Amino acid sequence: MRKKIYMLLGVLIIGLISAFLVYNYVFNSEHRDIANEKATVSLSAKDIFEQFQTNEALATTNYLDQVIEMKGGITSIEDNDVVLSNGVQVSFNSQETLKFQKGEQITIKGRCVGYDELLELVKIDQSTLIK
């Protein structure tokens, strides 16, 4: 009899713990860690900029929210941002831009958040330097 009660208690506790874990997983899950995600595509900054300029809707479907690896020459530097090939604005998480120089070729990885037609720039956030 006692054994049965212990077993029931055990099942109940395990049930409660797993319910809590599932709740926590669903409602308090961590944000995406872009730096540790694999890039789904790799292309040049010029290429992605041209794709957004020719067909924005299609490029949005293809690249929005995707982790992209991208190569390009730095055309301007501002705070935590650099512009690659005059067409892609790349925002870094940290002060990584301090060591960059204009004209330098870099490869980055980041998340595409869309096209800004006021500035005529494709925007990439949460970027990290690859090389």
Interface positions with other proteins (CB under 8 A): 26-32, 60-61, 64-65, 78-79, 81, 89, 91, 111, 113-119, 123, 125
Q: Which of 57, 127, 44 is nearest to 86 (CA)?
A: 44
Give least dist CB 112 to other proteins, A.
8
For other proteins, the closer CB: 106 or 122: 122
36 token code pair: 């540790």
Give least dist CB 60 to other proteins, A.
6
Other Cβ atoms closer than 10 A to 84 = 27
For other proteins, the closer CB: 7 or 55: 55
Q: Find out whether 129 and 96 touch, Cβ atoms under 8 Å.
A: yes
